[in-house]
Amino acid sequence: MQWNTDWGLRGRMAFTMFLLFALYLVFVGFITLYFQGGMLPLILLGGFAIAQYFFSDKLALRSMGAREVSADEYPELHRMVERLCQQADLPKPKVAVADTQVPNAFATGRNQQNATVAVTTGLLATLDDDELEGVMAHELAHVKNRDVMVMTIASFLSTIAFFVVRWGWLLSGNNRQGAPVIVAIGVSLVVWVVSFLLIRTLSRYREYSADRGAALITGKPAALASALVSISGRMDRVPKEDLRDEAEMNAFFIIPIRSGFIGKLASTHPSTENRIERLRELEREMETA
């Protein structure tokens, strides 16, 4: 099923990435000027980021308590993923399951050849087949769009800015006293805050893109919309301790765990209501195509 490209969404993503790129260019020039004697720690931090990039899938699965499952253990889930991969023109990723009441799903892996899609037992107990298919298609759209790689790269210099804010006095070399160090740390703080918000904005746009991709893969935008409603309703009945344990995985989940105004501002995902409305628009678009 084909429809017109959402140029508005693509334009907003491109503009956000441009702002990040411009911000990071200024920041790189700044830390080069002020931390001439402190590049070794930055290089070590870069090495850590690269290691995180290559092992992020294992870290994510371990933090969720998810394990890879075979086709013998979950035959229907494997068949569903395989069918969706054929429709999406993707190699089949690994399939994992996490034993938790929180109804959610996520995808991880640095590229299409090293991807894993994971679901929770709470999700399998909550959704019907069409809804589950919509959720899995959403996660596969993340894999197809290489979102883990994009967000890791986008976050790299933001992580360095945070590192400078916390440990800038150690990186200042011969300029450990006086105004230069204070200015450097202050600029790094501004860069970190601005980039944090821009990265969250970019993440929300990419969630919209994954929703659109899921609708393209399945041809059923309404099924994903229904799944989002079901997950949101079930989330209210999950014990608070389970939600707290898994809150750090928000960036991976199809629906994040969040609360309050600040939580919404810093959320990696758009509101469920906005996502459902866009899926309904896609449904109308497909009906008239």
d(CA 59, CA 106): 13
Distance from the Cα of residue 4 to its chain's centroid: 25
pLDDT, tens digit, for every residue of 124-159?
999 999 999 999 999 999 999 988 888 877 887 787
- Residue 207: name the closest of 265, 115, 141 by CA: 141
Q: Lowest-pLDDT range, 68-72, 136-140, 238-242?
A: 238-242
Does the pLDDT value for residue 181 go beyond 80?
A: no
Q: Which residues are catalytic?
A: 139
- Residue 243: name the closest of 107, 118, 119, 122 by CA: 122
The reported pTM is 0.81
Please tell me the predicted confidence (pLDDT) of residue 224: 96
| pLDDT band per the 50, 70, 90 thresholds, residue 47 | confident
Q: Is 5 exposed, middle or buried (0-12, 13-18, 19+ CB in 10 A)?
A: exposed
